[in-house]
Structure formats: structure tokens, C-alpha cells
Amino acid sequence: MADLLINLDALKRNYLKLAGMAPGALCAAAVKADAYGIGADRAGPALWRAGCRDFFVAHLEEAVALRPHLPKARIYVLHGPAEGESAAYLAHDLIPVLNSLPQIDIWTATGGNHPAVIHVDTGMNRLGLGTDEVAELIDNPDRAPFPVALIMSHLACGDEPGHEMNALQQARFSVLGEALRDSRKEAIPLSLANSAGVLLGANYHFDMLRPGIGLYGGNPLTEGDNPLEPVISLQARVLQTREVRPPAAVGYGAVYRVSGPTQLATLDVGYADGFLRAFGEGRWVPEIGGHKAPIVGRISMDMTIIDVSAAPPELVAPGMAVPLIDGVDGIDRAALATGLSAYELLTLLGHRYKRSYVETNG
């Protein structure tokens, strides 16, 4: 079984580093999609120990599963309530993010005493109240009689620092946020910045940060060095080694043929583990003891074959671990090589891995 090593100390340091970039703001954590694949049941409590008190997930089911691990945290559900779900929100003390007037009406029907977040769209056109809906809420603040814990929006192009959408969304959010505050005569906290938004600077910070990918070691920006630490590394076990000679073919479809005497190692990881075929055909080249060991042939469901001709034999014996994703920028380099994003790579991490967590002060 392949090993996924997860450094919770690095996760906490990344949280503290991002939080330190905006000392006047609260710093929440996005732990949706099982904390980007690393395990919300372990990441959430580790982040709590680092000082985080606000956690965002996408689905109600994620929030319900997370609550026993974070009994005192504020847990927000980004997709908001559907009809018939309000009772579960109340039973588990969850805070919905309301993305439309119909969702506001659903939450109002709970009695108007339970807090919620209002999400306004500022240009992404994915979720959030549109311009007309915001105007309706400004003109009729009693339409949302419950306590508003937060007003939020989301950046569409924050990972591209020079993109014109960033300044446009920041300006729209400033105007809409202040208008909603004024209509309710409350200094409601505002939140715009994801991980990339944190790095864009103080104009984007407002009152709460909501980092995600940066916590888990991915570079929030498409350019420049990654200021954050890697959190995961992936190792696979050698199942078998063999020497082959031309015209031997390797893997499904016989699409790869060796050009000379070649030492192969078969590893116990495949696309069912999230190690997709996008890693193959020369796109991703693991290293063993500083020696390149390219992936050859098609990656299969449970196995991957590498060329270990350049590696010392004592490092690739059956049962030994081979690093697949490692190093300071492993996730970012893997994303670049495969054409996938760091978000995709992390959230595709399978549950068949043996997961090992490192935390010195857990």
C-alpha cells in the first residue's frame, strides 16, 4: 500500500503565516473536500490548535461529519440550505452561507434568531446574490431578519495578481458590503480573500481571510515562488523488479517499448489512488536517491511502472519506498507537469493510501 505522509506541523505553520499577513483580520480555514484530500478529521483539529476558530466546508454532510472533531468551532456551509435541511443546521449549530433570496427565505423561516452569511456575487457568476437581489435586500433589510455573521464574495482570478478582475471585484465588494452594512445599521464583517487574495495585499483582506490551497502547500499564485511549506508527500512501494530487453513492450496497449536493456520496477499505486495517467508518458519523472526514474507505459488502476536503470539496485528492491511527490514544490511541479491544478491533485488523493500524520505538538 502506498504511503501518503501529511505534515500537520507544516499545515499549522502555513496557517500562521497567512494569518500573519493580515494581523487585523480573522483567519478562517477552508476544509472542504476532506480538507483538500488530507483528512478534515485531522486537519481541522490541528488548525484549531494553531488558533483557527472559523471553518468553511461546501456541503451540509461535510459539516455534520466535521462537528464532532470541532465541537466549539464556527462551521460555515458554502452551498447553503436546501428545503428541509434547516433542522440539521440548527441541530449541529452550523452557519449557512446564503447565496440567493430563496435561500434567505428558507433561513428566515427558522425564526430569525440564527446567524447566517450573505454571499454577494461580484463577477464570478457562480454563487451569490446578483445585483438585483442585493438591491432588494438593501431596500428591504427585514427580508433577512436573522443576525448576519458575515458578508462575503469570492475572487475569480486572484491567482493572477495582474488580472483586471481583481481590482474590479474588490471595488464592487467594497461598495456592496458597505451598502448592506448601512442598510442594516451594523458593522458586519466582510470577507473576500482566499489564499491568493491574502497575497494580493491589504486592500483585499477586509475582516476575515478564507485561505484554502495555501494551507495545504499549493502556491496560491500562478507566478513567483511559493511562500508556503509542502504539507504532503507521496511514496509508493516496489512490488516487483525485472530486466527487459528490446523489443519488449511495457504496460497496457504496448505503447512503450524499451530501446535497450532496461531495469523496471512496478509500484503499488495507480489511477484509482488519484495517481492519474496524466503523470505518465514522460510528463512526471520521480527521483530515487537523486537518480531519475521516469514513468514508462500507461499507468493502470493499481500499478505504475518506472524505469529504474539509473538508480542503485539497493534503493529499488521489492518492498522499498519510492518517492513520487516530494520536495519543496512537489505539488506545484506535479501540477505543471500533468496539466492538472494543485487543487485537483490534492483532492484526488485516494483513500487507499496508508496515511501517516506528523504533528509534534498534537
What is the per-residue pLDDT across 54-73, written as a single tens digit (0 to 9) for each? 999 999 999 999 999 999 99
Q: Does residue 218 contact residue 233 with C-beta atoms inside 8 Å?
A: no
Listed in sequence order, the residues at least 6 apart from 179 whose beta carbon sits closer than 8 Å to its beta carbon are 134, 138
The per-residue pLDDT for 327 is 74
Split into its structural domains, the chain has a count of 2
Asked if the structure places residue 332 within a domain, the reply is no
The per-residue pLDDT for 330 is 86
Q: Quick one: 150 and 251 in the same domain?
A: no
The alpha helices in 185-278, defined as continuous H runs, are 195-200
Long-range contacts at 58-67 (CB < 8 A, ≥ 24 apart)? 58/32, 58/33, 59/32, 60/85, 60/88, 60/89, 60/94, 62/32, 62/34, 63/92, 63/94, 64/88, 64/92, 64/94, 65/40, 65/41, 66/31, 66/40, 66/41, 67/92, 67/93, 67/94
Q: Which of 279, 327, 326, 342 is nearest to 4 (CA)?
A: 326
Catalytic status, residue 252: yes
Q: Quick one: 212 and 110 in the same domain?
A: yes
From residue 214, give the alpha-carbon distance in Å to each of 25, 46, 163, 356, 359: 17, 15, 19, 21, 18
Q: Quick one: 183 and 237 in the same domain?
A: no
The per-residue pLDDT for 349 is 86
Q: What is the pTM of this model?
A: 0.95
The per-residue pLDDT for 350 is 80
Question: pLDDT below 50 — which residues of the chain?
Answer: none
The per-residue pLDDT for 281 is 84
Q: What are 111-145's pLDDT values in tens digits?
A: 989 999 999 999 999 999 999 999 999 999 999 99
Q: Quick one: 202 and 158 in the same domain?
A: yes
Asked whether residue 320 is marked as a ligand-binding residue, the answer is: no
Domain boundary among 159, 191, 216: 216
The per-residue pLDDT for 204 is 99
Q: Quick one: 199 and 277 in the same domain?
A: no
Q: Quick one: 60 and 160 in the same domain?
A: yes
Domain boundary among 157, 181, 216: 216
Dist. CA 60–CA 37, nearest whole Å: 17
Q: Quick one: 68 and 181 in the same domain?
A: yes
The per-residue pLDDT for 224 is 87
Asked if the structure places residue 121 within a domain, the reply is yes
Asked if the structure places residue 82 within a domain, the reply is yes
Among 12, 15, 32, 353, the active-site one is 32
Asked if the structure places residue 334 within a domain, the reply is no
Q: Quick one: 41 and 176 in the same domain?
A: yes
Considering the chain, what percentage of its residues have pLDDT values greater than 70?
100
The per-residue pLDDT for 361 is 78
Catalytic status, residue 32: yes
Asked whether residue 210 is marked as a ligand-binding residue, the answer is: no
What residue type is assigned to position 123 of the chain? G
The per-residue pLDDT for 193 is 99
Q: Does residue 353 contact residue 2 with C-beta atoms inside 8 Å?
A: yes
Asked if the structure places residue 248 within a domain, the reply is yes
Q: Which domain does 27 fall in, by range?
A: 8-216
